[in-house]
Structure 1
């Protein structure tokens, strides 16, 4: 079917439908999508209308058959003297009650076996309903237990949330304090790194090496003190030569002698230092 034919069919169906309801067709845009959807609804509506007509025709046919059967049964009852007008009121009432019970039990006749089968079926359904009710009660109890636990958990979470909200301000203040301390420590770290670099530069300039340990320095200081003790008499002697008479030959000879002693002392100090460094390695 083309799009124009589908649109024409949709407009005709809408007009009939709203005219039957006493209303006018509302204004809307006929798009391919809306036309396709409405045409699908038309197809479903026609199918359901046809099914309803078939069911209604079947019901009318069955009703006609039931009326014919009822007329035939009434005629038979009148011929045998069992018409409803000639029966006692209690018999009519009992028959009506019996018919109502049969209709309630959805049975076609009033035989005792039919009533027993219907009652058995009702008992089975009652048992099934009771079992389902027990299962539902059990599930209800479980759901109630879960609900109570959920409410308790929710109450605990609300209390915990309130406690955490109360602790937010102190924690924020503490975090700000930590952040400030962290900034101060970072500044100190940069300062210490710079000082360490400066000290390393000073040590490199002074000729410091990792082999020079504290123990080596202590030993060198002790040897220096020992050397000072050895050289002090020589220096005192040299100073005493300042008071000698101006005899250049003797003075030169004495100075050369003291210089040799001083050089020996320096060589001894160097040997001691080298041996100390070698032992530290």
Structure 2
């Protein structure tokens, strides 16, 4: 255990004036703390326990001692004031009793009902917190009580209104909570089917993605194939249909010529006439081909 002299003498720089002042200050604090502890434990009939005096413990104990001493002084002042007031009240009571006895109004000589009424009057005065029993004081006190009663009733009405509103809010909150619980239970029941549906959708999505890649590859292959065969966007379905219609028209136009040529096969061979007929048919066939090319070029130009 370290004593106060050890704490005061502690430190290697105790020769300086600042350290001497600090050491003296600590010594004063330690002395005050020790004297306060001795007084407190002596009042309780016990000895002061041994403990280590450190700067931190001395600081805490000094603060506690300061507060305790201040409160003790304040309590002593209040107690002395109460004792002085009690002595004054006893003196006044004795003087009033002497006056009442001189006029024949001592408590022992009064009827019991008068004493009871006076006691009731005194109790009412104490209840109303008035210093005398004058009628005006009672009226003022009763007016004050009435005002306070009115204020309390107003506050009570306000609190009841607020309580009713809170009760309504609570009922609504309970109803909403019940609805939310029911909804939560329903959602929890729907979790398993929804998860199964989601897994099904994931499977279908995987299949769709595979099909998409397959179709994209087929589209790329078809596009390359069309590019190899010379397909261009100008050769559309409408152009092909129009060309087919012109082909049918040409076939219809050339059919009589072919029939005529076939009929010539049944005639006796005449080389000169046959050569002339063949030349005439060649010219007609060349004219038909030229007409077909003109129609095709016209259709392609119109598409552009």
Q: Same fold (TM over 0.5)?
A: yes
Match of 1:129 among 135, 148, 152: 152
Match of 1:98 in 2: 121
Deviation per CA, 1:128-153: give whole Å up to 9, x if none.
11111111111111111111111111
SS of alignment partner, residue 207 of structure 1: coil
Match of 2:276 in 1: none
**How far apart are 1:200 and its partner, in Å?**
0.8
Q: Distance in 2 between matches of 1:270 and 1:23?
A: 135
Match of 1:189 in 2: 212
1:199 paired to 2:222: yes
RMSD of aligned alpha carbons: 4.5
Contact 2:239 2:300 in 1 (8 A): yes
Deviation per CA, 1:135-188: give whole Å up to 9, x if none.
111111111111111111111111111111111111111111111111111111
Q: Distance in 1 between matches of 2:229 and 2:66?
A: 105
Q: Distance in 2 between matches of 1:9 and 1:222?
A: 130
**How far apart are 1:262 and its partner, in Å?**
8.6
Q: What are the within-5 Å matches in structure 2 for residues 127-166 of structure 1?
A: 127-166=150-189
Contact 1:10 1:35 in 2 (8 A): no
Distance 1:276 1:43, change over 3 A: farther
Distance 1:226 1:117, change over 3 A: closer
Q: Distance in 2 between matches of 1:276 and 1:17?
A: 128
1:82 paired to 2:91: no
Distance 1:280 1:177, change over 3 A: same
- Tell me, which stretches of 5 or more residues in structure 1 are unaligned? 241-257
Deviation per CA, 1:198-249: give whole Å up to 9, x if none.
111111111111111112123344556677896996xx99xx9xxxxxxxxx
Q: Distance in 2 between matches of 1:264 and 1:189?
A: 51
Contact 2:125 2:133 in 1 (8 A): yes
Task: Number of aligned residue pairs: give it.
Answer: 262
**How far apart are 1:94 and its partner, in Å?**
2.0
Distance 1:226 1:129, change over 3 A: closer
Contact 1:216 1:277 in 2 (8 A): yes
SS of alignment partner, residue 151 of structure 1: helix
Contact 1:10 1:38 in 2 (8 A): no
User: Which shows bigger deviation, 261-270 or 197-206?
Assistant: 261-270
Distance 1:81 1:46, change over 3 A: same
Match of 2:86 in 1: 63
Distance 1:218 1:171, change over 3 A: same
Give the alignment's TM-score, normalised by structure 2.
0.67
Q: Distance in 2 between matches of 1:53 and 1:214?
A: 119
